[in-house]
Every structure is written in structure tokens, then in C-alpha cells.
Structure 1
Amino acid sequence: MNSTDLPRLTVRSPADLIAAVPYLLGFHPADSVVVVALSGSRVVFAARGDLPGDLPDDVDPGEAATHIAEVTARQGADSATVIGYGPASRVTPAVDAVRVALPEAGLAVLDALRVTDGRWWSYLCTEPECCPPEGTRYDPQASTVPAAAVFAGQVALPDRAALAAQVAPAGGDAMRQATDRAERRLADLLATAPATDLLGARALRAAGAAAIRATRRRHRSGEPLTDDELAWLCLLLTHLPVRDHAWERTDGRDDDIAFWAEVLRRAEPALIAAPGSLLAFAAWRDGQGALAAVALERVLAEHPDYSLAGLLDDLLRRGVPPSRLDGWPAGGPPRELRRGRRRSRRRPR
């Protein structure tokens, strides 16, 4: 799901809305049902879910529709348009289920569309003059929306797989060797810690703070991080006080997202839990819910019990708006971050 802090995009027609969806999600959807939510005339949220045939066997399509409607209603929206991507036999049941669920969640349905092979159909309009039975051909490039989105710095990747590729592993033998060296360095650090430093906790915190400060500074200056620097940072991040020190200094800035994405890609799989969770947090804070979701999917596949990843996964599932964290951590964590991990079976992506 995505909360959308996009600049105002002028949407005058169904074709304009269809052209805007890839920039709201960050990628071009396929075999999907998408809900675009509005508060007044402003788009505030977009969520994507799989079509029923692509859902896990234990997920009921009606339950999935109810969930996406409830998540959308939490965004302060008052209306929504549903768009299904794919053949009618698969799209229609999904769109119908969401059309029923949205009013039950307190949202007016502005329109319900199906998009297939360069044409769109409306489930609500029966006038052949504007909604012919053979569908309406559209050309996204004929709309001003893509140009406005690109000018504002928005990107629409070809598909969700391209988004997942941004967090795919890019390590190798050199990083494995650097991690081995980092482990020996950590053993030396703990061995030389004063006897009064229980379990070397103070030494670890000091080394972690220094590594975070140094690597962030180098990244901001455009200097590439060495394998040894990155491996040392990732190993220190397994110490929770170091991870939390980094978390407190991570928000939704572009630099945060770029930094933690690089660390996640290059880290050894055993060490991706913290950087992947921090990337997800930064992306979620920036309204890039789809990027946060793919980062968490990678973390939880390797580390299913990592608590921070589980907590952020829960926030995404429940559609908690990133604005709930405004002012954190100065005022302490908000209620949503204190609720702990609670999984549901389905998350719009």
C-alpha cells in the first residue's frame, strides 16, 4: 500500500486517473485491484492487492476486500475509485467485492474501472456515448499526468518485480570475506573491553555510533562505502542499542532511503534484518509503502522473528499513516509502535 505525498496531479478523466496510478504505487500494476482514495478532490492514498486467483489459498477474496477497504478508510479519505487490471473473468469478482466493502467502511465509490490491453471499462457507467461496450482506448502519454509526475521526481517502474530488484542481494565473495574480518574485529573489541564494561556493551555502543556517523558522512559526500566499512556497520547493527541509535537518526529523507537500500543490497543475508527494517521505516515515512513492503518481505523471508520488521509489517498491514510518527522520537514512540507485533493474513501492496 502507498500513502501518497505526491504533488497535486490534475485528474480530469478516467484516463488521467489510470495514467496516475503507476506513479502513486511506484510501479505499473498487473493482475491487480487498486483503490485510489481521495479526501475531497485530493488523492491521499493508493493501495494494491492481488486478484483472487493470485491470493494464497487461505485468504478469502471477501476478507481481502474488507481489509483493503478498512485500511483505506483509516487514511482520512471520504471517497475512492476501484481499478482492476486484467481480464474480466478475474477482475470483475475482485472489483465487485471491493465495491461492496468500501461503502461498508464509510467511503463513497466514485467509479469502478477495469483496465485491459490499453482499454478501460466502467462498471458504473452504462452510457454507450462515454463508456462503449468495447471499452475506451487510452494512451497514458496523451495525459499530462505522467509528465507532471516525472517533473516532480516521481518514478513508475515497469512492475513490482522491478521494485523488488531494488532491494535484491548484490553481495558476493568479497562481502563474505569482509564479514569474516568484521567478526574477528568484533571479537577483538569485546576481548579488550574493560572488565567494568559488562559484556562490552559500552564498547559496542561507542563503536556502533562511530560506524553510523562515519558511513553516513561518507555516503552523503558521494564516496562509496568499502566492503569492510559496510560489513562492520551491519555486524554492529545486530546489537539492539546500536540498531536503535541508527533508527532514531532515520526518517523519510531521500538520503536515508538511498543509504539503507545500499546497505541492504550489499549486506550478507544473515545481517540484513536491521538495515532492511531501517530502509522499510524510511520508505514508509516518505510515503513509499510499496518499497517498504518489498524490503520487509526480504527481511522476513530470512528473519521471520525479527521484531522491528514484524512491527513495521503490522503497521503497513493496518494502514497506519506515516504522519502518526510526526515528532518521534523526541516525544517517545506513538501508540502504534508500542502495540507490538500483530499479524494479519493479507496486506495490500
Structure 2
Amino acid sequence: MTTSTPPGISRATLSNPADLIASLPYLLGFRPEESLVLLGHRVPGTTIGLMLRADLPPRELQAQQAEALIPRFDDPEHNGVTAVIVGGSADEHGPPHRTLAAELERCLARHNLRLFHGLWTPEVERGAPWSCYRDPDCCGVLPDPRETVLAAATTEAGFVVFRSREELAAVLEPRSPEAIARRAALLESAPEPLCGPGRSASDVLDAAVTELRAAFLRHRRGEGPPDDDQAVRLAHALMLTPIRDACLALAVPPHTSLTREAEEVWLTLVRELPPPHRAEAALYLGYTALMRGEGALAGMALANAVEADPEHLVAQLLQTAWNIGTDPVKLTGLADLSTAADLGLSPPPEPGKEEPGAGRRSGPPRG
């Protein structure tokens, strides 16, 4: 499985191999295990560009994996790659997976790309050994990942780091499969709840905005997930094109309290809505996470959207952009800020209460 993470926040230049390896959980959003991680170096300098994570392949597929991954860095923005292999045990000849490291270097050379570092560690933990494939004297032990400069920067920005990729994926799973089944049946059998006799398109849009604002207020008050009727109305509301435009606009600018709040609302709805309606919430979650630089979550959310609705063109577009490591700045045009403002979608704080989300986010909602 591949994870790409275009950087969405200002990150320190990582020139020290030990710090670079220790920072991987904060770059990816989870602690990699038995993984190959490729970090592209942008031109000019050593700013991190596209990042890819893949499971370590069996020996017979190592060349094939290199051929599949390296061409994605063959563009004017990248001049080389740092490769980090996580897993296995060293022996008297050096770190393991040496044939994979050699295949990566050969493939990079064919694409006129430089291998800045070829690094190995058995695990990304404090005190774990690390070494280089090229230089036997380039080695040491890892610092505590929680004490790196990047850890401080990403924590301050509200990022959450998971123990594993599986733990991250679990936050997108339905809260209640039984509730999903009930709502799927209701959506299939019931007429659209926002429509009715004598209602104009403007009336329907107003009703949709009301439903979405109510969802935000329930989240702010900590009232838990929507009930069946609320979920069905929200499913229809999210399908309206002006609502989609406004919801995408809530992702810009990133790193605001409203952006973090919106990300949590979309995550709740991904877990509460059945397909194909779930695709809309997953799209908004993916776009918001992408704008904030949470690439692993963005990739999983966009895959969730395409799985829920394989014909969803916007989700397909964003998934393709994520796959090739497109700079999020180039995707801000999807956010129609004027539509969000015209609809007044952002609900105001309740009287007498501090603006929600002003503090650091502790983690995605799970309940």
C-alpha cells in the first residue's frame, strides 16, 4: 500500500539521518513498520516533496516495486530521493534488504535522479540502531521521535500521529454497521426529505444549509453522532452542488480552528453515512486533510470516497492529485470561498462560549 504526503505545513530541513528517520511518524501520520519510505527532495535545496510508503516486497518483486515507485519522482520539481527501509535485522555484512536498496539506486539513476541517502532501521523507536547502505561508518541510534523538531511543529499544528497505519485506517470504519444498514434502507425507500410540495430549489438549499449548520452545532455541543433522521437529511444535503462547493471552501485557509472542526465533522459523517452518500463526506475529509498536510488521512479518505461512489469525478480527481504528490497550494481553486460566504455555512460560536477548536486537537472523534 502506498501513502503519499505532500507537506502542508512549514517543516524543518532534515539533513541529519537519525532525525530524519525519527521524524517519519510525523511526516506520514503513523509509525511505519516493515516499510519502504521514499522522500522526494524538491528543487532547489532539500525541501521534502512527494513522500511514498509501501510494504516491503518479497525479493522476487523488489525490482518491480522500484520500477513502480521511482518514476513518480521523475518531474521538474524533484532532483533526488532519500530512501528509508524499516524492518529486518542487520548481520555481519550490514543492514538487511541490500538488494532492494540496490534496485532503488539503479532505477533512480535511469531516471537521472540522485539517491541522497539510503537508510535502514529495524523500527522507529528511541534507541533503535540505524545505518546507511553506502557508508558503514554512517550509523548510530535513533533519538526519541517525540523530541524531534518536526514532532513539535506537527503537534503544534494539531496533527495526530497513530501507532500504525491500521490504527489510522480504523478511524474511518463505521461506528455502527447496524445504523449504516438502517440508513441505507431509508435512503433507498424514502423520498428526499428536503424536498416537498411547493418547495423551490432555493428552499431546498436553505434546508440543506440548516441541516449542515445543525450538524456543526451538535458537534460543538458534544451531542454525539446524528440519529437516523438527521443522517438521512444530511446525506441528501451533502449531494447538492452548492453545498459541496461551500464544504470544500471550509478547508481554506488550512490550520484554523474552523478547518479542524470541519475535519472532525466530516470524519463523523464518513462513519455515519452509507454509500454512495458517504462519498461526499469522505471527499470533504480528504480535501481538508490534504490542505492541512495530513497526507495519510487524506489518501485513505479519498480512497474511501471512490470506493463508496466509483463514478465520483471530483473524488477521482483529488485521488489522482494525491497519488502524484501535487502541492496542495495548486488545489485551492476547488474551494469556492464566495459560495461558503453567501450561504453563511460557518455557524457562529454559541453566546458566552469560547470559539470551539481554538485549542490543540487531541485526536479524531471515535464515537
Q: TM-score range by the shorter chain?
A: 0.7 to 0.9
Report if aligned partners of 1:65, 1:98 keep a CA contact under 8 Å in 2: no
Cα distance, 1:329–1:154 mapped onto 2, change above 3 Å: closer
Partner of 1:169: 174
On the 8 A contact 2:119/2:133 being kept in 1, the answer is yes
Give percent identity, aligned residues only: 27
**Cα distance change, pair 263–145 in 1 and its aligned pair in 2 (3 A):** same
The normalised TM-score by structure 2 is 0.72
Structure 2 portions without partners, runs of 5+: 90-94, 339-367
Provide TM-score, normalisation by structure 1: 0.75
Q: Does residue 34 of the first structure (1) align with residue 34 of the second (2)?
A: no
**Deviation for aligned residue 1:189:** 4.6
**Pair 179,119 (structure 1): closer, same or farther in 2 beyond 3 Å:** same
Q: Which amino acid aligns with 2:98?
A: T
How far apart are residue 110 of structure 1 and its match?
Answer: 1.8
**What is the Cα deviation at residue 220 of structure 1?**
4.2
Cα distance, 1:237 vs. partner?
2.1
For 1:95, the equivalent position in structure 2 comes to: 101
Matching residue within 130, 141, 157 for 1:120: 130
Letter of the 1:29 partner, please give it.
P
DSSP 3-state at the match of 1:170: coil
Matches within 5 A, 1:1-349: 1-9=4-12, 11=14, 13-39=16-42, 40-53=45-58, 60-70=64-74, 73=75, 76-87=77-88, 91-105=97-111, 107-116=113-122, 118-127=128-137, 130-131=138-139, 136-140=140-144, 144-145=148-149, 148-149=152-153, 151-152=155-156, 153-174=158-179, 176-177=181-182, 186-187=191-192, 189-193=194-198, 201-220=201-220, 222-227=222-227, 228-251=229-252, 252=254, 253-326=259-332, 328-330=334-336
Superposed displacement of residue 204, structure 1:
3.4
Secondary structure of 2:212 counterpart: helix
Decide whether the 8 Å contact of 1:34 with 1:49 is kept in 2.
yes
Measure the CA separation in 2 of the matches of 1:92 and 1:331.
50
Q: 1:15 to 1:258 in 2, by over 3 A?
A: same
Deviation, structure 1 residue 291: 0.5
How far apart are the structure 1 equivalents of 2:174 and 2:331?
Answer: 29
The 1:103–1:148 alpha-carbon spacing in structure 2 relative to 1, beyond 3 Å, is farther
Comparing 155-164 with 245-254, greater Cα deviation is found at 245-254
**C-alpha distance after superposition, 1:16-36 (max 9, x if no partner):** 111001110001112221122
Cα distance in 1 for partners of 2:59, 2:188 equals: 42
SS in structure 2 at match of 1:3: coil
Q: CA deviation at 1:284?
A: 1.0
Q: Shift of the alpha carbon at 1:87? A: 3.2
Following superposition, the deviation at residue 45 of structure 1 comes to 4.4
Distance 2:108 2:98 in 1: 15
Which stretch of the first structure deviates more once superposed, 140-149 or 113-122? 140-149
SS for the counterpart of 1:109 is strand
Which whole-Å CA distance do the structure 2 matches of 1:315 and 1:29 have between them? 23
Q: Which amino acid aligns with 2:135?
A: C
Q: 1:260 to 1:307 in 2, by over 3 A?
A: same
CA–CA separation in structure 1 for the residues paired with 2:8 and 2:50: 8
Q: What do residues 243-293 of structure 1 show as CA deviations (whole Å, max 9, x unaligned)?
A: 344334444421221111111012224421111111111111111111111
The code of the aligned residue for 1:23 comes to Y
* TM superposition shift of 1:90: 7.8
Question: Given the superposition, is the C-alpha separation of residues 318 and 193 from structure 1 closer, same or farther in structure 2, using an over 3 Å criterion?
Answer: farther
Please state how far the C-alpha of 1:295 moved relative to its aligned partner. 1.4
